[in-house]
Amino acid sequence: MREVLNDVERECIVKHGYGLHSFAHALVDTFERLSVEPVTPELHAQIQSFAKIISDHPIEICPTFLKLCSISPGATISS
């Protein structure tokens, strides 16, 4: 998972520069790439809107993002 996130972060830096905004997009893109279930347009929109929350509340990033995506911290995500 970290390898994919690193790759996506590099891509996001080119598009969005450095910072929380770019990192939020990287988390969203990584989730969508590694999701076992298909990402519906509704889920995509929900996750995209969550990127702003990540940028505004960085201390809450991991637990809240995992909860939104219905992933427990010990869950396995396959590519």
Rounded to an integer, what distance in angstroms lies between the CA atom of residue 5 and that of residue 68?
18
pLDDT (0 to 100) of residue 68: 59
CB atoms within 10 A of CB 60: 12
Angle (CA) 14 52 61, round 5°: 90
Map tokens 């929109």 to a residue.
45
For position 79, what pLDDT does the model report? 42
Summarised one tens digit per residue, pLDDT across range 54-70 is 777 665 555 655 565 55
pTM: 0.60
Asked whether the predicted pLDDT for residue 12 surpasses 70, the reply is: yes
